[in-house]
Structure 1
């Protein structure tokens, strides 16, 4: 059973842009990164900027050198060092293969998620990992390998760290599931696999830039549970698939409880409401939930009071994928332009180069 929570919030979400307040915050360019397609972005407590770049095999439309970088004076520097960024599938356990996410936790550690699946191909098993990097020493402190998962079928996507319970919550759109990883023991488990809240809506096709997002065979882009958010008080976990329009949440006390059966856990799912097509998602300390609105080139947020606000609307916001909050009061984000790549345009790139990192000042 999917519960409805907060009638005010639900009604506000249903109204979407018709009732949303448009704050018209200017979008600022932080850096240009050429033909290197950015995915993840993480900001440390001291304002250090980290970015991830997927591995593209033999595609002249994209450049690739480093999977994870620190942005220093607008320049990309391999992080934590050049060795980790030397792509070598035969050394996948100690090299980055296809880094997806870089997230900074409440204790100012950097967590790097490598699903090890370049070009969305089957993963290099030895390379599937989550790294904890100490930002003071710039050293890798621990590596998690997910041996408890059916790794040959995984596609880990995004991660949030619960420092209170020492757990990590990870979306896996390939398995249509949430992964709960115990950071103390290294044990992981799958929850809500194939549930309607983690799965795509049958027949739902993305329509961006005025056309359906399909490859040359007519196969549409499709992603199960993808964007996730964890409130800063560790009370609620928000999640959604890309190919559907609803936003869901779970109280973390239930998500973190390994004693619950699948049915018992599912009984605690709450339907937040209709949010349209969204990729990136993030929560802030005030309880606001930030969501991308890809069809409308916009960033929105839902306040704790249930007010739906459009922060910025800008044509440069093509497929906003990842958000990060900076200590300077800015929301940082990548615009990946995935739908404009050659895969979905008959082999021709429609990308507006160079790729860029953006930010906007939060009110």
Structure 2
């Protein structure tokens, strides 16, 4: 039997390294009292925005921050990310996925879930758009029933600006209670629908097994030992014509043409027929894309960051056993891949009530060339 270290080496060797592999730079070390970090987005001026969700850790710190010279500042103000009484649409409950569009508008996906609370209150699950030039909220789109239900776990999103008067949102629902789907929302009208519910492309791979920090772990809905779920990482091609997604508990990449996905008149059956299998990828959480159509994955088994070019060839960007235990949020901008390392596999609920996370939580920047 091969030792686990050798198995890990074999997995890494299967991915072609870049000609000159460059180590990542740590751009933030997040200490107490700030909570665990998840989502990340970067605008064209290289301003960095971070999300601090409450679905795993209920906290009273700002849930959305801007990283400025290694320090955290509430964004766009202190009020938006702090808990408030009353209307849930007025504050960020649990921001998860984040994305900056070509107009430098930051789209923040609020999953609306607070740790220990069984339900998602009306108005808590939403998408909030913030103009990073004016630092003002310009749009709030609430996810409503029947699309919204208490099993929803809204994980990541993309905004397609070529379909719909104000664009179309695509949202990954990785599922809290074994219900997995893709949510489509027309921004201008608020019209929304849930598609590909429990479809093989949005669901965990049957019998999924992964090596988590050199330990073999099997997908288990009753006693999970790793972050697990369905559709999670998402991406949009540079021309906004193709939407890609991956499963948190899987290794298959899928896509759909946005012309079909954004069209509310297209039936579920036709959507399912149009789903395209794009090949396998390293098991990942976060996902990102660049202006050339390259895709990026946070490979949590290999504790690595991986690039896939438009021809389907993979490259190793960085590998770090100590720091890259769980690459979570990914964002590309101006030749760099930005990654949050939230250590979500070490939370108490996955480790017999023992919180194994070690501060500081890191945010890193990696050259992509």
TM-score scaled by length of structure 1: 0.89
Q: Does 1:218 align with 2:215?
A: no
Q: SS at 1:125's partner residue?
A: coil
8 Å Cα contact 2:231/2:246 also seen in 1:
yes
Please give the residue correspondences for 1:203-352 in structure 2 after superposition, counting only pairs within 5 Å: 203-211=207-215, 212=217, 218-220=223-225, 221-315=227-321, 316-327=323-334, 329-352=335-358
8 Å Cα contact 2:11/2:302 also seen in 1:
no
Give me the whole-angstrom Cα distance separating, in 2, the residues matched to 1:222 and 1:305. Answer: 29
Give me the whole-angstrom Cα distance separating, in 2, the residues matched to 1:69 and 1:93. Answer: 18
8 Å Cα contact 2:50/2:66 also seen in 1:
yes
8 Å Cα contact 2:298/2:330 also seen in 1:
no
8 Å Cα contact 2:147/2:192 also seen in 1:
no
Partner of 1:34: 31
Q: SS at 1:118's partner residue?
A: coil
Give me the whole-angstrom Cα distance separating, in 2, the residues matched to 1:342 and 1:71. Answer: 27
Partner of 2:3: none
Give me the whole-angstrom Cα distance separating, in 2, the residues matched to 1:203 and 1:213. Answer: 7
CA 1:75–1:307 in structure 2 vs 1: closer, same or farther (change >3 Å)? Answer: same
Q: SS at 1:309's partner residue?
A: strand
The alpha carbon displacement at 1:89 in A equals: 5.5
Please give the residue correspondences for 1:52-63 in structure 2 after superposition, counting only pairs within 5 Å: 52-55=51-54
Partner of 1:20: 15
Give me the whole-angstrom Cα distance separating, in 1, the residues matched to 2:61 and 2:243. Answer: 34
8 Å Cα contact 1:55/1:118 also seen in 2:
yes
> Higher relative contact order at CA 8 Å, sep ≥6: structure 1 or structure 2?
1
Give me the whole-angstrom Cα distance separating, in 2, the residues matched to 1:188 and 1:16. Answer: 40
CA 1:89–1:294 in structure 2 vs 1: closer, same or farther (change >3 Å)? Answer: farther
Residue correspondences, number: 345
CA 1:214–1:195 in structure 2 vs 1: closer, same or farther (change >3 Å)? Answer: closer
Partner of 1:69: 65
When the two chains are superposed, the root-mean-square deviation of aligned CA atoms in Å is 2.3
Q: SS at 2:95's partner residue?
A: coil
* Structure 2 alignment gaps of length 5 or more: 1-9
Give the helix-richer structure, 1 or 2: 1
Q: Does 1:125 align with 2:125?
A: no
Give me the whole-angstrom Cα distance separating, in 2, the residues matched to 1:224 and 1:93. Answer: 26
The alpha carbon displacement at 1:17 in A equals: 4.5
Please give the residue correspondences for 1:93-108 in structure 2 after superposition, counting only pairs within 5 Å: 93-108=89-104
TM-score scaled by length of structure 2: 0.87
Give me the whole-angstrom Cα distance separating, in 1, the residues matched to 2:219 and 2:206. Answer: 15
Q: Deviations over 1:59-94 (max 9, x none)?
A: 7xxx65110001112111111111112213634221
The alpha carbon displacement at 1:234 in A equals: 0.8
* Structure 1 alignment gaps of length 5 or more: 1-14
